[in-house]
Structure 1
Amino acid sequence: MTTRVVMADDHARLRAHIRQALEANGCEVLAEGASADDAVALTTEHRPDVALLDIHMPGSGIRAAAEISRLLPEVAVVMLTQSVEEDDLFDALRAGASGYLLKDSDPTTLGDSLRQVLAGNGALSPKLVARVLDEFRAPTKRRFGRTTPAAARLSAREWEVMQLLAQGLATEDVADRLFLSPTTVRVHVSTVLKKLRVKDRESAFRLLRGD
């Protein structure tokens, strides 16, 4: 059975290369776009089996992934990107992506990877597997410090919020990154301050770093 695909990437030459690889491997590209808005509109119009999205296209591929997953849960979302950043990887998975493939992967395997997703399996570039395993084996591990007793008191979501705030993101930016409302972010921060028995964020950061 032919795998029906909508793809979105702002690099036209790369789209042509990907289309060629897909069509040589049992896929039909129904439509192409160059932005997140294109991705959502074309996926809604064509109802493909897979939406294949770049992350850093205009409007954010992660935003498109979240919207497609919400509006069309029957469509599998797979990211095809150059980014090996952990934030991009985990944000994409949280947004509903079933696959995260790198553009330097062998293009002849792309069709098989999409079929694996449709069969109910995830698709992840091999070099990223260790990062996912590490995240789940050590959910309270600090990116800005070692594991601390204070960190172990937080839920996974509270940890994500504090980690992003410690990187200098504003409340609204954290909300966008985690697909939350700013009010929910503030509630998480308030809960963390109560758990750690401190009065402000900076005090919480020091405890979480183990200063």
Structure 2
Amino acid sequence: MIRIAVIDDHELIRHGLEYLLHRSDDLKVVLRGAGIGDLRDSDLDHDVLILDLYLATDRPCVAEIRELSAVTRVLVVSASGRPADVLAAVRSGANGYVTKDAPAELVVDAVRTVAAGGFYLSAGLADILQRELDSPGPGFGSGSDSALPRLSEREEQTLSYIAQGFTHAQIARRMDISKATVDTYVERIRTKLQVGNKAQLTRAALDRLERRHRP
């Protein structure tokens, strides 16, 4: 059973998510709240936190994501699909990001993926990351920034696909190589960047992007 906490300042959204998730036998909402305080005041254990990015404020709660992601898996479900919001949430530690207009089955898939330690973006949001990650600037993959661990061109390409949420089999088809080769690239990347799961790999890719574009 996957236990879920839902934090959203709209009561209708909270009830809607609970109704949706309880239709699946393996999902159970154990906490509903309008703010982070409701989560902190609760002693209920949960596996996934569904969090709205804007909680009764015009400030995205990226600082809260950074704090909470250290102790739980965070899935952002937000009305905002703005690139800056998606990138800020992922950089802050979110394990997934889905917009509120996404199909119901996609939200369920996202919860299960995040609960299993994976990383999830809906297709449109993956496109946002792809545009960012597929626009190499000076020094990308060349090792010209001595602060960045050097990756080969194929490893950089693999890291970009991982960050967009593709499976190893999907990456293999896109790169026209075997899945075993992709597995090897990913292990090399993890070793070089000293990261583990998909969420960490995604943040590593975004960090490389940000640093290579720094003046």
Q: Give TM-score scaled by structure 2 length.
A: 0.59
1:94 maps to which residue? 91
Partner residue of 1:118 out of 115, 118, 121: 115
Relative distance call for 1:41 and 1:139 in structure 2 (3 A) is farther
Letter in 2 for 1:56: Y
| Residue type at the aligned position of 2:50 | L
- Answering whether residue 6 of structure 2 is matched by residue 10 of structure 1, we say no
Q: Which residue of 2 aligns with 1:105?
A: 102
Alignment of 1:30-179 (within 5 A): 30-42=30-42, 45-58=43-56, 60-70=60-70, 72=71, 75-138=72-135, 140=137
Where in structure 1 are there 5+ consecutive unaligned residues?
A: 142-151, 157-187, 196-211
| Whole-angstrom CA distance in 1 between matches of 2:7 and 2:137 | 35
Q: Which moved more, 1:46-55 or 1:58-67?
A: 58-67
Amino acid at match of 2:90: L
- Verify the 8 A CA contact 1:37 1:64 in the aligned structure 2: no
Change in CA separation of 1:93 and 1:108 when aligned onto 2, cut-off 3 Å: same
Structure 1 65/16 Cα, relative in aligned 2: closer, same or farther at 3 Å?
same
Amino-acid identity (%): 26
Instruction: Name the SS of the counterpart of 1:31 in structure 2.
Output: strand
- The CA distance in 2 between the partners of 1:61 and 1:29, in whole Å, is 22
Deviation at 1:95, TM superposition (A): 1.1
Cα distance between partner residues in 2 of 1:140 and 1:7? 39
- Distance across 2 between alignment mates of 1:116 and 1:90: 19
Contact 1:55 1:81 in 2 (8 A): yes
Q: TM-score, normalised by structure 1?
A: 0.60
The separation in 2 between residues aligned to 1:6 and 1:140, in whole angstroms, is 40
8 Å Cα contact 2:106-2:122 kept in structure 1? no
1:27 to partner: Cα distance: 1.2
SS in structure 1 of the partner of residue 69 of structure 2: helix
Look up the match of 1:22.
21
Q: Distance in 2 between matches of 1:49 and 1:113?
A: 13
CA distance in 2, matches of 1:29, 1:136: 35
Tell me what 2:185 maps to.
none
Q: CA deviation at 1:35?
A: 1.6
Per-residue Cα deviation, 1:50-93 (whole angstroms, up to 9, x for no partner): 000000113643232111123x1xx2100001101111101100
Please give the per-residue CA displacement for 1:96-152, whole angstroms capped at 9, x wherever unaligned.
Answer: 1010011111123322221112223211111111111121222659xxxxxxxxxx9
Contact 1:36–1:63 (Cα < 8 Å) also in 2: no
Measure the CA separation in 2 of the matches of 1:108 and 1:20: 13
